[in-house]
Amino acid sequence: MEEDTELKLITQRKLAQMKRIAATTTTTTTTSAKPQKAEKTDRQVVAKMLVDRGDEVLEAAYSYYPNETDRIVRELSRLIREGKFNEKISGGELYSLFRNLGLRFKLNTSMKVEEKGRLIDIGEKFRLKREGEEKA
């Protein structure tokens, strides 16, 4: 019984605190006369410069090394914003950068070949070829 009352008190305090925070955030957002221009995050700045699976490489890097990747992205973003770096970054170049910095991680890769107007996995092609040879 005592635990239930304590739990209710804690819940009520948290709810009151959340209401106060919500009230202050709504008043501060309504009091600002001009909406401020939303500045892009470092990650958005870098993502805009990525081509050729660069986004996949960046996501994989974040999943393996979130802190280190964040620092690298901040530095790349700084260089891009200052105009010192204005070239597109391919996935291979970004992956090479991470590897040169000692951050090694796996990427999901697959090889596909075109057959009869559609792309199929190379493993499936070999399997179909082998099945065809066994029947003959």
User: Is residue 63 in some structural domain?
Assistant: yes
CATH number at residue 80: 1.10.8
Compute the distance between CA of residue 37 and CA of residue 93 in angstroms, rounded to an integer. Answer: 32
- pTM metric for this prediction: 0.55
Q: Which domain range does residue 92 map to?
A: 39-126
Q: Does residue 133 belong to any structural domain of this protein?
A: no
Residue matched to tokens 């003959």: 136
Q: Is residue 98 in some structural domain?
A: yes
Q: What tens-digit pLDDT sequence spans the chain (136 residues)?
A: 566 777 777 788 887 777 788 777 765 555 554 555 567 787 888 888 888 888 888 888 888 888 888 888 888 888 888 888 778 888 888 888 888 888 888 887 778 888 788 888 888 888 877 777 777 6
Would you call 109 helix, strand, or coil by DSSP? coil
Number of domain units in the chain: 1
- Confirm whether 114 is domain-assigned: yes
Q: Rounded distance, CA 10 to CA 80, Å?
A: 48
